[in-house]
Amino acid sequence: MTIPRTSTREHILKRATVLFQGRGYNGFSFKDISTPMGIRNAAIHYHFSTKSDLCSAVMQRYRDLLKSETADFMKHGGSARYQLEAYLAFIRHEILDAHCMCPLTNVAVAMDTLPDEIRAQAVTLSNELLAYLTRVMELGREQDEFQFNCAAEQKALSVKATLQGAGQLARLMGPQVVDQVIDQIRCDLGL
Amino acid sequence: MTIPRTSTREHILKRATVLFQGRGYNGFSFKDISTPMGIRNAAIHYHFSTKSDLCSAVMQRYRDLLKSETADFMKHGGSARYQLEAYLAFIRHEILDAHCMCPLTNVAVAMDTLPDEIRAQAVTLSNELLAYLTRVMELGREQDEFQFNCAAEQKALSVKATLQGAGQLARLMGPQVVDQVIDQIRCDLGL
DNA sequence: CGATAAACTTACTTATAAGTAAGTAACTTT
DNA sequence: AAAGTTACTTACTTATAAGTAAGTTTATCG
């Protein structure tokens, strides 16, 4: 058959994203992608030669998404508060609607068992993410929107860590955890 | 051979703990335990009938450890500050010295792929952990040691989430992350 | 219309996983 | 000293994983 062929690669990537961010690298197999799609494992290998390649593409897409999202946030005015809220909403959506974790969580957990390529992508992503959040924190303090008395980098790190943890605890303790933790982040910034 | 037999079960549990907390349920196999110990997989099955049983025992031990640790913390005087610091030191040691994550992280990540038994243990652990931290927060506020203006439960949740995240980010960004995040937790409690 | 390339499938290989059944050596009990 | 129990091993089964090679269909291009 193979009628609408153009979109197969995209479908594979989408399923892989959900699975990678939802279960981790070692928590899914090619079958979890191919069977629900009604294709064969070999079709995945046609588009992505290895599992490492596939997950590397997932990481790359997440970085691209983040880049375009954060660029978007910045367009809508320079308000640090707005940018923080946009990022919080993005994370909130990923956790509550998509039931996904930040890829950094999944990489960190299985660190020792992963191909170098994936680890490298994760390190780059963490640098990009922290750089963005650090700028938001700096901006917020300059504009007297946020209050904190440590390095902006440290505050950004702490915010990111808290959000990572929220994603995990929400799975164990229920979705209300996410909003409680996000509230606390705002509160700790003097909002 | 089998000369020192008594301790095999304990050795298996210790290796399984390191592997489970270090790589997650799907990130290790029986071989990772048996080969370095110089025993066969079947020897593991003799002591623990399934992988689920083994990891359930690991979770149980972690809960027991936590229970005795927190009981210990409480004996050394009722100071909330002391109890917080003791827990922070415990987590810090697990991350930096043992290179382990809190089991909650590993369970949350692979949630959908895990046996019910493990999930149930994790839910219980998260309740116990949060109950303890909530008591510490309540105590700290009563004694004017900590400052925060939300429910003690929410503050405890936020602290735990932050520590969970610190464990992950430390693997990607280096060990200094842990102390930076811990500093921030203190700071956000008015310390 | 025929050749070519893209997008697959079928069928296979190799490796590794968890788990089991039957046998064995050493200590323990009677 | 015989019998049973503990703590394993050897050898196996079954399932599943990633990955590959060769063939097939469909669209496209000259």
Q: Which pLDDT tens digit goes with each residue over A144-190? A: 999 999 999 999 999 999 999 999 999 999 999 999 999 999 999 99
Q: What residue has token string 């479908």?
A: A11
Q: How far is CA A52 from the centre of its chain?
A: 18
A33, A19 Cβ separation under 8 angstroms: yes
CA dist., res. B138 & res. B43, Å (int) = 47
Taking an 8 Å cut-off on Cβ atoms, the answer to whether B110 and A24 are in contact is yes
CA dist., res. A169 & res. B164, Å (int) = 9
A118, A56 Cβ separation under 8 angstroms: yes
- Name the closest residue on chain B to residue A26, using Cα atoms: B26
Kindly report the bases of strand C lying within 7 A of a protein C-beta atom.
Answer: 7-11, 16-22, 26-27
- Tell me which fold the domain A5-188 belongs to: Tetracycline Repressor; domain 2 (1.10.357)
Helical ranges in chain A per DSSP H: 8-23, 30-37, 41-47, 51-75, 80-96, 103-110, 116-142, 152-173, 176-188
B68, B90 Cβ separation under 8 angstroms: no
- What's chain B look like in SS3? CCCCHHHHHHHHHHHHHHHHHHHCHHHCCHHHHHHHHCCCHHHHHHHCCCHHHHHHHHHHHHHHHHHHHHHHHHHCCCCHHHHHHHHHHHHHHHHHCCCCCCHHHHHHHHHHHCCHHHHHHHHHHHHHHHHHHHHHHHHHHHCCCCCCCCCHHHHHHHHHHHHHHHHHHHHHHCCHHHHHHHHHHHHHCCC
- The nucleotide closest to A6 (CA, C1' atoms): C7
Q: What local confidence, expressed as pLDDT, does residue B28 receive?
A: 98
CA dist., res. A157 & res. A129, Å (int) = 9
Q: What local confidence, expressed as pLDDT, does residue A59 receive?
A: 98
Strand C closer than 7 A to residue B6 Cβ: no
Q: How far is CA A122 from the centre of its chain?
A: 10
Residues of B in contact with A103 (CB under 8 A): none
Taking an 8 Å cut-off on Cβ atoms, the answer to whether A167 and B22 are in contact is no
**Which parts of chain B have pLDDT scores under 50?**
1-3
Q: What local confidence, expressed as pLDDT, does residue B72 receive?
A: 74
Taking an 8 Å cut-off on Cβ atoms, the answer to whether B23 and A167 are in contact is no
CA dist., res. B108 & res. B78, Å (int) = 32
Percent of chain B past pLDDT 70, that is, above it, reads 96
Rounded mean pLDDT of A105-133?
Answer: 97
Q: At what angle do helices B80-96 and B116-142 cross, to 10 degrees?
A: 140
Q: What local confidence, expressed as pLDDT, does residue B2 receive?
A: 38
Q: What local confidence, expressed as pLDDT, does residue B6 receive?
A: 59
CA dist., res. A110 & res. B53, Å (int) = 21
**Band of residue A74 on the pLDDT scale cut at 50, 70, 90:** confident
Give the largest Cα separation in chain A, rounded.
Answer: 63
Q: What angle do CA A121, A81, A107 make, to 5 degrees?
A: 20
A4 pLDDT above the threshold of 80 = no
Q: What local confidence, expressed as pLDDT, does residue A130 receive?
A: 97
- The nucleotide closest to B40 (CA, C1' atoms): D9
Q: How far is A86 from chain B (nearest CA, A)?
A: 20
- Name the closest residue on chain B to residue A150, using Cα atoms: B184
Q: Tell me which architecture the domain covering B58-188 has in CATH.
A: Orthogonal Bundle (1.10)
Q: What local confidence, expressed as pLDDT, does residue B73 receive?
A: 72
CA dist., res. B164 & res. A6, Å (int) = 41
Q: What local confidence, expressed as pLDDT, does residue A75 receive?
A: 78
Mean pLDDT of chain A: 94
CA dist., res. B98 & res. A141, Å (int) = 37
Taking an 8 Å cut-off on Cβ atoms, the answer to whether A104 and B172 are in contact is yes
CA dist., res. B145 & res. B133, Å (int) = 14
Q: What local confidence, expressed as pLDDT, does residue B100 receive?
A: 96
Kindly report the bases of strand D lying within 7 A of a protein C-beta atom.
Answer: 6-11, 16-22, 26-27
